[in-house]
Structure 1
Amino acid sequence: MGVSQSAFEKAIKAAVGGDEGLYAFPAKPFYQINDVKPYNLTIPIEPAAITYPKTTAQVAAIIKCAVDANLKVQARSGGHSYGNYCLGGVSGAVVIDLKHFQQFSMDRTTWRATVGAGTLLGDLSKRMHEAGNRAMAHGICPQVGIGGHATIGGLGPSSRLWGSALDHIEEVEIVLADSTIRRCSVIQNPDIFWAVKGAGASFGVVTEFTVRTEPEPGEAVEFSYTYTGGSHASRAIMFKRWQSLLADPGLTRKFATKVLIAEIGLIISGTYFGSQAEYDALDLKTKLGGEPTVETIVFTDWLGLLGHWAEDFALQLAGGLPAHFYSKTLTLNRANLIPDEVIDNLFAYFDEAEKGTLVWFAIFSLAGGAVNDIAQDATSYAHRDALIYLESYGIGLTGVSQTTKDFVSGINTTIKNGVPGAEALGLYPGYVDPELPNGPQQYWRTNLPRLEHIKAVVDPGDVFHNPQSVVPAGFKLVVGKRDRLRSFSAKTLQRASTRLIRLTLQ
């Protein structure tokens, strides 16, 4: 550490004008419960400070304090990182909590909204509705914050219609490692803008978004087909039929769906953005088969539909509240769907494997649509070919046993062993997996080299850091340590890339 802790604390206090409600340090009573609030309780963590700035100028001052003290920085919006990366991922970071950044306005000519980066998705939906019945694509958990969600991807039921949350972004305000405040768009600071749309946590603290909005959908049908009783193996046929629906390249973008597999059975659910008559014409019950319990609800109220999404079964098990959990994820595309025999193996695995917990589930979600219309290199988000995302979870009351971890990992292994090429499809950065040996490569794929070179210009000291963040070109990570080693040749490469990219940032 470059300065003593007491000097650091004094600097933080000065950065927020001495307001005691805008900072907290480890010595504060109930620091973990009231201020740290880790989302994944299996990953203990103690930040050097939690700060609650009210202005962009205060954000800039806090970043300077961290740089002077040789500490890393991460922003927190909703605080739902699976690896607690919004807290730094490891102890000792400075956290910039954005809860006070709640600004909102709607330009009724362009229908672009200005949104504070601390806004939670539930609040955002209400504010857009009240400002002219507008909406944008995002996930279903109302407690998630837009600041992280829209800078890593941001997927939800309406993404097949409108794209990911980050595809709505037209401009951002961001504070960089040198404490400068920049406006970024395709015209201003386009390289930073490109990087923020997929890897924002590695490049600065976004304090404000300008986003395009869409008219709220009219009628929508929410549906579920629940299969219980018998073995998991007996339900494999329904999953095969569901996947065959998704394989149709002509599948309407109005159709959003997922499969949840848990101890209780299998649930195929989703939303059809259209009329009851259009939905009925899909004839899902016949196509899926079996004897499910069927439920359909017709919504004409957008906020009512959003409220229904928030009651999702998986969210009730592991949604907005902190928990002890372990998760894995996998990506599939149209060319790498799961063969029938592998589906049989997977569902037999659900029957036979030791789980170590009763609270486990796997979710297969349909992606694609408008998200995949955009070129792979148009933003740093690198999953424009994904068709299905898998999320697997094991949850414990006081911790997660090795048995449960092995079970969850085994879901991925069972699929990957039978799906050639699955490893090359990368992993969605919103479902971080701290155990990945090559996380950045998995999250950003072919876009990683460009990200590293931009990072070398705007954050050469790697101030905005977590265990799987983008590192500057020329830096070498030392596993398990925060130090970086740099060779002479790497320095030369960085200087060359710095000159090149700096020209594009001017």
Structure 2
Amino acid sequence: MAKKKPEFQGSIVHSAVDALTTAFGVKGAHQVWFPKTKADVATAVALSKEQVTLIRSGMQAAATDTAEAVGGIVIHLAGLTKITAKPDAVNAEAGATTSAVAEQLEVNDLALPLIDSPLKSIVSNVLDDTPSCLIRSLGPLSDYVTKLTGVTPDGQSITRSGATALARVLEEKAVITGVTFEPAPAKGLWMVRRSFLYPGKDRMTALVKALFLDTEIPSQCDVILEALSARHDFPVVSVMAAGAGLKGKKAVTELVEGAIATLPAGLVSEDATENFTGASVIRAIVDAGADLPIDPEVDAHRIRRVVEPQEDLNQFLDLVVDDLDRGLAFREDGTGKRDENMRVFSRLQLDREDRVSLSGLVFTPRPATSSLLAPLASVSFLQRAETPFHVGLDFPPLFAPRIPGFKGVVYVPTDLLYRLHADQYATSSHKREDMSPFMVAYPRDVDDIKSAITFAQGKQKSLVARSGGHQYSGLSSGGSGTIVLAMDRFDQITRISDNVFDVGPAVPLTRLARFFKGQGVTIPHGECPLVCIGGHAQTGGFGHLLRSFGLTLDYVTELTIVLSDGSVRTVQRPAGAPTTDDEKLFWGVLGGNAGSFGIVTNYRFKCIKDSDHPKSFGYSAKRLYRKGRYKNLMKQAQAWTQGIVAGSLPRGIDFMMTVLSKADTFRPPVPGILVELVHANLGGEGEAVDPEEAFAAIMDAADSDPPPLDVRLTDKRSRFLSDLSDSFVRRFPLSTPNGREFRQPYNKRLNATMDALTDDFIDGLVDLVDTATATKGLYLVFQMAFGGGSFRDSQRRPETSIPRRDIVYCFVFDLFYDEEMKPEAERLQGEMQTLIDQHFSPGQERRLLWGSFGDTDITKDAVRDFYYDDLAVYDRLRELKKKVDPVDLFHTSLTVKLP
């Protein structure tokens, strides 16, 4: 009897429908196989012998990692993530991340020299030849490997143990499925990290040479210098000294202190000095490391260079600093970064052979061109030359659909990668059960959406559309009663005429802004890079051009939507108050609670032309946070609110300010202030534009209360509006890889007022911001914007249902927190609530962006009062809901409720 052919137990998807394939670094149409177990890997390898086959274990890839798999298979080990840690053995499956392993090491007080890339897989850690930050203290990670499990190219499972395990597995060209390490005890580990802002080329050269030229570093100690483009483009340098025992500690710390002494007094504050011991050293190194972007407009290029003994080290260090200066420095004339298209994360250190090594990443706009990279004389870009595991032709069949007639991929809670597809921006901040939908489905076209509607109604489930997944309260997710329609494949941008474009709901702002810049047009929009236009347009689209041009939704001329009965309607913007059914639907979708009425598949935008505003001008001023400086800027904000109330503030100017705490990843070493100003040149060519005069008082306030050594990073220049809009998007590495400000969970707030700011409010706000920025374990994001202008006075107001268009001022006060600091974050938000009730909007608290925080139960009168000026508007929305979704198919706690 013939032996039964093994069956693959994992998931198989095609690259054309899988939402994660962009993170794999694989080009061309192919299948992605996700094995469920180590044995399943062997099955996958055996079944894929007739196909071109590549192996992947991590979820992020640099541009220099890309490989071709046209017509083939990628066996991806992301589902193999189990970790066990004991004093004598740490076992990790191939797809476990560096961060997850570091967490287990910290819990068990163990140490391994992990590479500091939090999302990198443990197998990539073992195979990577980039030295860890502890290469001299602990040696290479491969030295700790005691056993490897794997699969040979003919599909045979193997186990290799002992000192030669790794060499044998590599010789056999096997897929590594799991690793066992013999960890070191963490006791005795220590690290000191000093962080400060980039001191300029000459001082940086002196620092680098004091650390690495003609110096002796004890063999059991490490000295590391990192230079990186941090949040909001603050250029940061960190110097670390580390070791695995007391031997050599005195010598290496004296070396570091002596090198830092070459810098100006006051540049390196004691507050920016961090001390770590034991397993926290490993966790701190990993947490502060560089990951790779999932931003579609950013490419990452790996660099790796080792200086051999016969080379001129002095010359090499000069070249390195030249490149770092290009990636970090701002021009002295105040016109921005020396190179707007280059950002860096770079590391210098000694390896075990006492050779200086350079490693890291260079980030450039995508697609990167040769002209961007050619001047990087000192670095070596790593290009992975990969041989396919197997070479062949035909595809095996895919699995049967879970939704009848549905062509896209569907994930349910029992699936291997369900959690990966269910997680979104808000997941870490809300209850897991509220963020675990019945299924996550990726429709490929309108027919798939119709199939999902029929299926959801048959299963008595609610349906929620998810474009980017950035709803702050997680309401683009749901619990077991919800099916999430992930709209990732609706990402088209189509030019209709010179300034009219069709845009799919899954287009992120990072891509939209870059594309529009290339076309010489723009629309008002926000700054979060991975927020998608689907939810952004429905909730308004607040951003840096609010006073000058209004909201994103003001520029939608028509939209296409699938309703609960499966019908598809394309509806146009009304000319004034809506009268027809189609006009009322347009009115309700744009500004009514997002997702209440159907699934939007396309927006048509009529954009603003750069050519109509040739003298537009913008400022971006980055400054160190000082309490007095911040208060002076808030006094300027107060003057603007007084001008808005009095009707005297010019319409075509915008002022946005951000205060950001120091961070633990991509960190500015101290809190910072970002001031952004726009003169929109609404009058066109004939308007006299003098932004120096218009914004002089604000810029003076930004330069007030200087610290002993001030840092003034300014970009002030005349730029087209599309260029300004594009520059406001916070692309990686200016945010976390997934577009958040900080990786920690958060307690959020977004409030507005109809009145001018009072002295009492400013005093209270300044004190709260100062407390939050000074509290260890809390990470503040404060941001503000102004109403009036086109936001308030637009003739388009009656055409959409967006409320609160008469606000004068709004602000964000978000507190991200380490878990043990959650009570303190809640306490400070309680103080903020008191301040708002007493001095900001007494009598009626006003909020923006429905359900961004607090109670989201819109059935409560008090909750509706937070968001609506006129409850009659909500009653009109309820009647519309009854008409187009009488079964309440599209439902969350915040969607419009049936009457």
Q: How would you bin the TM-score normalised by the shorter chain? A: 0.7 to 0.9
> Does residue 247 of structure 1 match 2:654?
no
Q: Secondary structure at the match of 2:456?
A: helix
Q: Which residue of 1 aligns with 2:523?
A: 136
User: How big is each residue's C-alpha offset from its partner over 1:335-371, in whole Å with a ceiling of 9 and x where there is no partner?
Assistant: x222112322332344457957331132222233212
> Does residue 269 of structure 1 match 2:676?
yes
Q: Which residue of 1 aligns with 2:510?
A: 122
Q: Which residue of 2 aligns with 1:463?
A: 889
Change (3 A) 1:262 1:122: closer
Matches within 5 A, 1:441-452: 441-446=865-870, 447-452=873-878
Q: Secondary structure at the match of 2:600?
A: strand
Q: Which residue of 2 aligns with 1:497?
A: none
Q: Pick from 288, 298, 318: which aligns with 2:717? A: 298
Change (3 A) 1:28 1:313: closer
Q: Which residue of 2 aligns with 1:485?
A: none
Q: Decide which moves more: 207-216 or 398-407.
A: 398-407
Change (3 A) 1:317 1:24: closer
Q: Which residue of 2 aligns with 1:391?
A: 812
Change (3 A) 1:316 1:408: farther
Matches within 5 A, 1:98-497: 98-108=487-497, 111-130=499-518, 132-185=519-572, 186=574, 189-199=582-592, 200-216=594-610, 217-218=613-614, 219-224=616-621, 226=623, 228-229=625-626, 232=627, 235-248=630-643, 249-263=647-661, 264=671, 266-273=673-680, 278-282=690-694, 283-284=696-697, 285-286=699-700, 290-291=704-705, 294=712, 295-300=714-719, 304-311=723-730, 316=735, 320-321=739-740, 323-333=744-754, 336-351=755-770, 357-374=777-794, 377-398=798-819, 401-421=822-842, 423=844, 426-429=846-849, 432-436=852-856, 438-446=862-870, 447-473=873-899
Please tell me whether Structure 1 or Structure 2 has the larger radius of gyration of its CA atoms.
Answer: 2
Change (3 A) 1:159 1:80: same
Change (3 A) 1:374 1:271: closer
C-alpha distance in structure 2 between counterparts of 1:142 and 1:121, whole Å: 5
Deviation of residue 266 (structure 1)?
Answer: 4.7
Deviation of residue 306 (structure 1)?
Answer: 3.9
Amino acid at match of 1:260: T
User: How big is each residue's C-alpha offset from its partner over 1:221-255, in whole Å with a ceiling of 9 and x where there is no partner?
Assistant: 223263534xx367434312332134213323332
Deviation of residue 56 (structure 1)?
Answer: 1.2
Long gaps (5+) in structure 2: 1-398, 575-579, 662-670, 682-686
Q: Which residue of 2 aligns with 1:54?
A: 444
Q: Secondary structure at the match of 1:167?
A: helix
Deviation of residue 429 (structure 1)?
Answer: 1.9
1:440–1:470 CA contact under 8 A, matched in 2: no
Deviation of residue 389 (structure 1)?
Answer: 1.2
C-alpha distance in structure 2 between counterparts of 1:350 and 1:372, whole Å: 29
C-alpha distance in structure 2 between counterparts of 1:26 and 1:324, whole Å: 23
Normalised to the residue count of structure 1, the TM-score between the two structures is 0.81
Q: Secondary structure at the match of 2:724?
A: helix
Q: Secondary structure at the match of 1:206?
A: strand
Change (3 A) 1:290 1:314: farther
Q: Which residue of 1 aligns with 2:468?
A: 78
Deviation of residue 303 (structure 1)?
Answer: 5.8
C-alpha distance in structure 2 between counterparts of 1:10 and 1:416, whole Å: 56
1:383–1:428 CA contact under 8 A, matched in 2: yes
Q: Secondary structure at the match of 1:202?
A: coil
Q: Decide which moves more: 426-435 or 115-124.
A: 426-435
Amino acid at match of 1:278: D
C-alpha distance in structure 2 between counterparts of 1:100 and 1:313, whole Å: 22
C-alpha distance in structure 2 between counterparts of 1:291 and 1:313, whole Å: 31
Which structure carries more relative contact order (alpha carbon 8 Å, separation 6+)? 1
2:403–2:451 CA contact under 8 A, matched in 1: no
C-alpha distance in structure 1 between counterparts of 2:450 and 2:581, whole Å: 20
Deviation of residue 141 (structure 1)?
Answer: 1.8
Deviation of residue 415 (structure 1)?
Answer: 2.7
Deviation of residue 34 (structure 1)?
Answer: 3.5
Q: Decide which moves more: 66-75 or 256-265.
A: 256-265
Number of residue pairs the alignment of both structures matches: 454
Q: Secondary structure at the match of 2:748?
A: strand
Answer 1 or 2: which has greater helix percent. Answer: 1
Deviation of residue 152 (structure 1)?
Answer: 1.0
User: How big is each residue's C-alpha offset from its partner over 1:371-408, in whole Å with a ceiling of 9 and x where there is no partner?
Assistant: 21247654210111012111111112458612212212
Deviation of residue 194 (structure 1)?
Answer: 0.9
C-alpha distance in structure 1 between counterparts of 2:855 and 2:414, whole Å: 30
Q: Secondary structure at the match of 2:735?
A: helix
C-alpha distance in structure 2 between counterparts of 1:221 and 1:422, whole Å: 37
Percent of matched pairs sharing the same residue: 20
Q: Which residue of 1 aligns with 2:226?
A: none
Q: Secondary structure at the match of 1:142?
A: coil
C-alpha distance in structure 1 between counterparts of 2:868 and 2:495, whole Å: 32
Deviation of residue 422 (structure 1)?
Answer: 6.1
C-alpha distance in structure 2 between counterparts of 1:365 and 1:346, whole Å: 15
1:39–1:323 CA contact under 8 A, matched in 2: no
User: How big is each residue's C-alpha offset from its partner over 1:13-66, in whole Å with a ceiling of 9 and x where there is no partner?
Assistant: 32313x5xx211111113112443353412121111111111112112101211
Amino acid at match of 1:252: P
Deviation of residue 311 (structure 1)?
Answer: 3.8
Q: Which residue of 2 aligns with 1:32?
A: 419
1:233–1:348 CA contact under 8 A, matched in 2: no
Amino acid at match of 1:453: E
Q: Secondary structure at the match of 2:844?
A: helix
